[in-house]
């Protein structure tokens, strides 16, 4: 736990002090950490993942939680990121340095994501726990695909926070710039136009064992499929039927490949059935609490 003390003077003599504490943000349970659980519908993460080695990261930038990530420190990729969609113009912010997570490397590491050090030699201090820039340096067929895309954020700091490699997976260029980019835009327009309330989005991957290798070592898992789902319980009931039936929740998936990489949009239940055959999850796997059906 970090303790910070802020003091200021009132009326020239009265001294007021505020003591702030912040927990390191690799956490045991998303739903027990205030502000982190807000990125999840009903404060509840997807259930049914079986791997005990996955890390829960409350992604913090400039001392504020921005989104959350379920991270695989062995495969060096996020399994999913969960975030709150913000109505935006879809512009990308490209003036942000790529960042890493000090807290993944050591328990004493900062709970804020930080820009990669200029010295690549320094990257060896944390490359065991996460991907580093060198992993993407010589693989021209892949793009760094964000699970929480900056096009789905509006605030400049929220957009900047998406540029951490713990939010990135290697996507085939043709898939990244083609079907997947188009799907990000489809969701942006749909939620911009027809979601009146808060929209929770979870975007994740499945893997099949293929890896990016560097120095003869397996470094970064290559997704087989990308998938995404949103939950917006307060939506426009007068929207055209072609859009209205995709509320309150809907999902999509696509093959991360050069061919046969079209996006399939499906109800969330259908997406869950598809993913059960592709991931290490149990029969109770569920993306959104109560399938995004409000208890009210």
Which residue is associated with the tokens 């959104």? Answer: 288
For residues 24-52, average pLDDT:
81
Query: Does the residue 1 lie in any domain?
Result: no
CATH number at residue 249: 3.40.570.10
Structural domain range at position 48: 26-292
Q: Would you state the pLDDT for residue 83?
A: 98
Query: Does the residue 117 lie in any domain?
Result: yes
pLDDT tens by residue, 133-169: 999 998 999 999 999 999 999 999 999 999 999 999 9
Q: Would you state the pLDDT for residue 20?
A: 37
Q: Let me know: does 261 contact 179? Beta carbons within 8 Å.
A: yes
Identify the band that residue 32 occupies on the pLDDT scale cut at 50, 70 and 90. low
pLDDT tens by residue, 253-270: 999 999 999 999 999 999
Quote the number of domains for the chain: 1
Query: Does the residue 20 lie in any domain?
Result: no
Between residues 55 and 110, which one has the greater pLDDT?
55
Distance in angstroms (rounded) separating the CA atoms of residues 222 and 211: 5
Query: Does the residue 265 lie in any domain?
Result: yes
pLDDT of residue 22 exceeding 60, the answer is no
The pTM (predicted TM-score) of the whole model is: 0.89
How is residue 167 annotated by DSSP? G
Q: Tell me what percent of the residues of the chain surpass a pLDDT of 70.
A: 88
Query: Does the residue 4 lie in any domain?
Result: no
pLDDT of residue 279 exceeding 60, the answer is yes
Distance in angstroms (rounded) separating the CA atoms of residues 210 and 93: 30
pLDDT of residue 2 exceeding 60, the answer is no
pLDDT of residue 127 exceeding 50, the answer is yes
Query: Does the residue 14 lie in any domain?
Result: no
Query: Does the residue 67 lie in any domain?
Result: yes
Query: Does the residue 3 lie in any domain?
Result: no
For residues 78-95, average pLDDT:
93
Distance in angstroms (rounded) separating the CA atoms of residues 247 and 265: 12
Distance in angstroms (rounded) separating the CA atoms of residues 8 and 16: 6
């Amino acid at each position: 736990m970090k303790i910070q003390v802020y003091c200021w003077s009132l009326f020239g003599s009265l001294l007021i002090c505020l003591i702030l504490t912040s927990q390191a943000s690799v956490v045991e349970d998303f739903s027990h950490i205030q502000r982190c659980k807000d990125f999840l519908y009903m404060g509840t993460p997807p259930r049914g993942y079986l791997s005990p080695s996955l890390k829960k990261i409350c992604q913090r930038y400039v001392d504020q939680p921005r989104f959350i990530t379920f991270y695989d420190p062995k495969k060096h990729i996020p399994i999913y990121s969960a975030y709150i969609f913000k109505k935006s113009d879809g512009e990308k912010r490209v003036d942000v340095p790529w960042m890493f997570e000090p807290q993944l490397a050591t328990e004493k590491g900062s709970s804020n994501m930080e820009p990669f050090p200029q010295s690549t030699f320094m990257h060896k201090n944390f490359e065991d726990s996460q991907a580093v820039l060198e992993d993407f340096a010589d693989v021209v067929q892949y793009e760094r695909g964000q699970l929480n895309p900056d096009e789905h954020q509006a605030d400049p700091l929220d957009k900047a926070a998406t540029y951490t490699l713990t939010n990135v997976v290697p996507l085939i260029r043709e898939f990244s710039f083609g079907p997947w980019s188009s799907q990000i835009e489809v969701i942006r327009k749909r939620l911009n136009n027809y979601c009146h309330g808060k929209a929770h989005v979870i975007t994740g991957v499945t893997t099949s064992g293929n890896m990016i290798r560097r120095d003869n070592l397996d470094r970064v898992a290559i997704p087989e499929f990308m998938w995404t789902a949103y939950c917006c319980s307060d939506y426009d009931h007068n929207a055209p039927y072609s859009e209205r039936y995709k509320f309150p929740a809907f999902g999509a998936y696509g093959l991360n490949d050069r061919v046969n990489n079209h996006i399939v949009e499906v109800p969330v239940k259908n997406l869950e059935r598809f993913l059960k055959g592709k991931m290490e999850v149990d029969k109770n796997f569920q993306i959104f609490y109560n399938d995004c059906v409000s208890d009210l």
